[in-house]
């Protein structure tokens, strides 16, 4: 049997065409042999197979199968002319334009073996059929990664990136101390003088009032600790603008979620950074979706949402050509996934920044140290401090059966120490004297479980459908690995159960809201005074809308903030709430959990909560700002017999990881007997395994 070598030196392929039922000399069906190779693609139109991977010794694979390779189709102009198969095996790299990433073809080695050689930093682009690798990951242990044909430019760039400390060695100790200081009072006179000698002091013309912790934080950020990870509501906006001022930035780019673009514009104008205190004619330009674009100012500040730069490559390129001197990324945890469109857009702009890229977030990770990686690349600390993505993930995470990077708990204290020493500015609300004491307790409510049981049966029916099809295709039951793969691909089934639990709690929640409003409202001249306005948090859109609708029928002047609302509508609701005109507001944890101030309230109810403790903490922090003067009371509704208690286990486990890395207490779980509950990763797998165990295979005739 013959096969044809085709393609190029960088992207070789082998074409195989055979008839129905054709066998190899060994008697094995050709189709079975092809399907067992490391890489192959079937062309239905031409009825041909293209082999894209044969492993480390392709000639031996072909010889064992009795397949002869035809080189006759290769002309003298082809870069395959004169090449042998061993020359076409090793993956080959090329430095991508801009120098941030490396493009990699796996060639005849095949996808899976290439992944092993490239490490965990590699991401696969299905469209182009190649890997992308952070330039830092060209090196392994300080030397070019073995088994790869490298682009020398990429090697040079990798060494360059790894050797770029953001903080001078002689400044490192004092800047690390400043990054954890609540004020200058925490430093010695010698440390203060040293810190101020690096970039000077915040000038008198800076237009935003600053707390002592913001001043010392700005000095640390400007000196290289550009991970501004203060807890939510500690005033990172002013700290970052002051840091840009210290860095004498004449072109400052601010990237934020759409919800807070207006707030950034107000602070930017008041700071006077754009005009350097009236010394220049710099402008503040705000780009908004659906609005006419402003001109890019010669000097000044540009404010744009992260979603807009992801959707508009042309705008992104113009901003890169504008060459920002400082880039500020607000709510940086939104960009935690390599390869995601928004993350890549932000990282490209960070790479084009001349002086500093500053990442702002109070929740730099949600459950795994892996979420920090894009932020570390943005701030410039990935290479100098941790080496590469692969080295970082190998040190601080381990992969589970679903391919997720879970934390290595024993190594998290070391990670925290490195972050404190080299990367972050992080202070808690308690440390800087912001916020009030609060309680967060469970509220167990009895609900009608019939809708939840119906949803549970619906999920079981869907698993049965998959199992029936699997047995029909394979004439056997799935093994653990196949059940795990199906479970990871079908995690949406859990959402069905969570949604049903949320809907089941609505009647009890509405009654509790009515009781709260009635007991805390007083009247003056017939006008209601809402002494303790309530925030009701939900997660799923259907539950949010049902909650808002029920409150609208039962409680006058109630309002909502959910996904899909315009920025103007959200701002109007927030303003009315803060003025005391709304007794209860139903909020989506995702839509209203960041960037807004709801400190008029000190009472919080979670009808639904979230798998991720950082999202819950963000929601709680809407009432824990500098303006909060009352003790905060929060409670989470838990319906026995639903997923609620298991969800608390997930929150508890993830909260332990956050506490180990970030310090403090990030456990937002409220249920009792937490250690007896199962984690989320096991819920669906166990459900699938139960269905499989009961399945009876048909008798063979």
Per-residue pLDDT tens over the stretch 351-361: 999 999 999 99
Arch. (CATH architecture) of 438-448+506-678: 3-Layer(aba) Sandwich (3.40)
Q: Is the pLDDT of residue 224 over 50?
A: yes
Give the pLDDT band (50/70/90) at residue 674. Answer: very low
Residue 340 burial by CB count (10 A; 0-12/13-18/19+): exposed, middle or buried?
middle
Give the pLDDT band (50/70/90) at residue 447. Answer: confident
Residue 479 burial by CB count (10 A; 0-12/13-18/19+): exposed, middle or buried?
exposed
Q: What is the pLDDT of residue 329?
A: 98
Could you tell me the pTM of the whole model?
Answer: 0.73
Q: What ranges in 521-641 are assigned the alpha helix state H?
A: 541-554, 567-578, 613-621
Angle at CA of residue 407, ends 401 and 408, nearest 5°: 100
Cα–Cα dist 36/33, whole Å:
5
Per-residue pLDDT tens over the stretch 528-577: 899 899 999 998 888 988 988 888 888 888 998 888 888 888 889 999 99
Of the candidates 426, 361, 368, 259, the residue with the CA atom closest to the CA atom of residue 621:
361
In the chain, where are the structural domains located?
2-86, 90-162, 169-392+419-429, 438-448+506-678
Give the pLDDT band (50/70/90) at residue 365. Answer: confident
Q: What is the pLDDT of residue 593?
A: 65
Helix then strand then coil, in percent of the chain rounded to 5, is 45, 20, 40
Q: What is the pLDDT of residue 192?
A: 96
Question: Across residues 119-126, what is the average pLDDT?
Answer: 93
Q: Which residues pair with 283 in a beta bridge?
A: 300
Helix (H) or strand (E) holding 214: helix 212-222
Q: Is the pLDDT of residue 366 over 50?
A: yes
Per-residue pLDDT tens over the stretch 160-211: 999 988 899 999 999 999 999 999 999 999 999 999 999 999 999 999 999 9
Give the pLDDT band (50/70/90) at residue 656. Answer: low
Question: What is the rounded average pLDDT for all residues in the chain?
Answer: 88
Q: Which range (275-289, 495-509, 634-648) has the least confidence?
A: 634-648
Torsion of CA 666, 672, 677, 683, to 10 degrees: -70
Per-residue pLDDT tens over the stretch 55-80: 999 999 999 999 988 888 888 889 99
Tell me which range, 292-301, 556-565, 690-699, is most confidently predicted by mean pLDDT.
292-301
Q: Is the pLDDT of residue 670 over 60?
A: no
Of the candidates 114, 113, 112, 162, the residue with the CA atom closest to the CA atom of residue 137:
162
Give the pLDDT band (50/70/90) at residue 678. Answer: very low
Q: What ranges in 404-505 are assigned the alpha helix state H?
A: 412-418, 429-432, 450-474, 480-489, 492-504
CATH fold match for the domains 169-392+419-429 and 438-448+506-678: yes
Q: Which range (501-510, 542-551, 662-671) has the least confidence?
A: 662-671
451 vs 511, more confident: 511
Give the pLDDT band (50/70/90) at residue 15. Answer: very high
Angle at CA of residue 200, ends 196 and 203, nearest 5°: 125
Task: Give, in words, the CATH class of 169-392+419-429.
Answer: alpha beta
Q: Is the pLDDT of residue 673 over 50?
A: no
Per-residue pLDDT tens over the stretch 600-628: 998 999 998 887 777 888 888 888 776 77
What letter does residue 449 receive in the DSSP assignment? -
Q: What is the pLDDT of residue 697?
A: 77
Q: Is the pLDDT of residue 490 over 80?
A: no
Q: Is the pLDDT of residue 12 over 70?
A: yes
> What SS3 class is residue 281?
coil
């Amino acid at each position: 049997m013959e096969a044809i070598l085709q393609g190029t030196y960088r992207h070789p392929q082998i074409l195989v065409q055979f008839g129905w039922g054709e066998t190899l000399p060994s008697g094995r069906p050709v189709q079975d042999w092809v399907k067992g190779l490391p890489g192959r693609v079937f062309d239905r139109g031409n009825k041909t197979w293209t082999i894209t991977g044969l492993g480390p010794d392709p000639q031996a694979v072909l010889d064992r199968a009795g397949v002869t390779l035809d080189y006759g189709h290769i002309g003298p102009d082809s870069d395959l002319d004169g090449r042998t198969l061993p020359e076409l095996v090793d993956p080959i790299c090329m430095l991508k334009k801009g120098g941030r990433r490396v493009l990699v073809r796996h060639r005849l080695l095949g996808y899976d073996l290439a992944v092993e050689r490239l490490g965990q930093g590699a991401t696969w682009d299905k469209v182009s059929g190649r890997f992308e690798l952070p330039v830092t990951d060209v090196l392994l242990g300080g030397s070019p990664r073995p088994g790869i044909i490298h682009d020398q430019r990429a090697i040079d760039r990798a060494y360059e990136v790894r050797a770029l400390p953001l903080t001078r060695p002689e400044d490192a100790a004092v800047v690390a101390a400043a990054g954890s200081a609540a004020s200058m009072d925490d430093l010695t006179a010698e440390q203060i003088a040293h810190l101020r000698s690096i970039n000077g002091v915040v000038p008198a013309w800076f237009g935003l009032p600053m707390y002592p912790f913001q001043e010392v934080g700005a000095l640390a950020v400007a000196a290289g600790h550009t991970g501004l990870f203060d807890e939510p509501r500690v005033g990172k906006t002013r700290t970052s603008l002051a840091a840009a001022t210290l860095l004498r930035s004449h072109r400052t780019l601010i990237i934020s979620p759409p919800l807070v673009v207006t707030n950034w514009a107000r602070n930017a104008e008041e700071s006077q950074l754009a005009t350097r205190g009236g010394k220049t004619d710099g402008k503040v330009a705000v780009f908004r979706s659906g609005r006419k674009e402003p001109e890019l100012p010669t000097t000044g500040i540009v404010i744009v949402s992260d979603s807009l730069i992801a959707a508009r490559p042309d705008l992104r390129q113009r901003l890169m050509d504008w060459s920002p001197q400082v880039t500020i990324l607000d709510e940086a945890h939104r960009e935690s996934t390599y390869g995601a469109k928004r993350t890549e857009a932000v990282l490209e702009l960070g790479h084009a920044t001349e002086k500093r890229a500053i990442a702002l977030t109070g929740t730099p990770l949600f459950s795994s140290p892996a979420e920090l990686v894009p932020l570390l690349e943005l701030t410039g600390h990935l290479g100098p401090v941790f080496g590469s993505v692969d080295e970082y993930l190998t040190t601080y995470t381990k992969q589970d059966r679903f391919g997720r990077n879970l934390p290595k708990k024993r190594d998290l204290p070391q990670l925290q120490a490195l972050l404190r020493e080299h990367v972050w500015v992080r202070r808690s609300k308690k440390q800087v004297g912001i916020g009030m004491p609060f309680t967060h307790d469970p509220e167990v409510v009895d609900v009608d479980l019939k809708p939840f049981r119906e949803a549970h049966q619906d999920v079981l029916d869907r698993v049965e459908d998959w199992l029936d099809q699997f047995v029909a295709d394979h004439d056997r039951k799935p093994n653990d690995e196949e059940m795990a793969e199906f479970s990871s691909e079908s995690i949406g089934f859990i959402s069905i159960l969570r949604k049903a639990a949320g809907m089941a709690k609505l009647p009890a929640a509405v009654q509790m809201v009515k009781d709260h409003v009635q007991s805390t409202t007083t009247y003056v001249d017939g006008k209601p005074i809402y002494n303790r306005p309530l925030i009701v948090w939900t997660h799923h859109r259907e539950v949010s809308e049902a909650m808002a609708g029920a409150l609208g029928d039962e409680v006058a002047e109630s309002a909502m903030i959910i996904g899909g609302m315009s920025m103007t509508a959200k701002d109007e609701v927030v303003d009315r709430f803060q003025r005391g005109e709304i007794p209860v507001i139903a909020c989506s944890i995702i839509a209203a959990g960041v960037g807004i101030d709801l400190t008029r309230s000190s009472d919080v109810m979670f009808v639904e909560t979230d798998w991720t403790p950082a999202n819950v903490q963000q929601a709680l922090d809407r009432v824990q700002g500098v303006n909060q003067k009352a003790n905060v009371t929060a409670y989470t509704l838990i319906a026995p017999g639903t997923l609620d208690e298991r969800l608390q286990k997930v929150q508890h486990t993830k909260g332990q990881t956050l506490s180990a890395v970030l310090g403090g207490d990030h456990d937002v779980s409220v249920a009792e007997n937490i250690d007896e509950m199962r984690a989320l990763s096991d819920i669906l797998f166990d459900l699938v395994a139960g269905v499989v165990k009961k399945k009876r295979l048909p008798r063979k005739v």
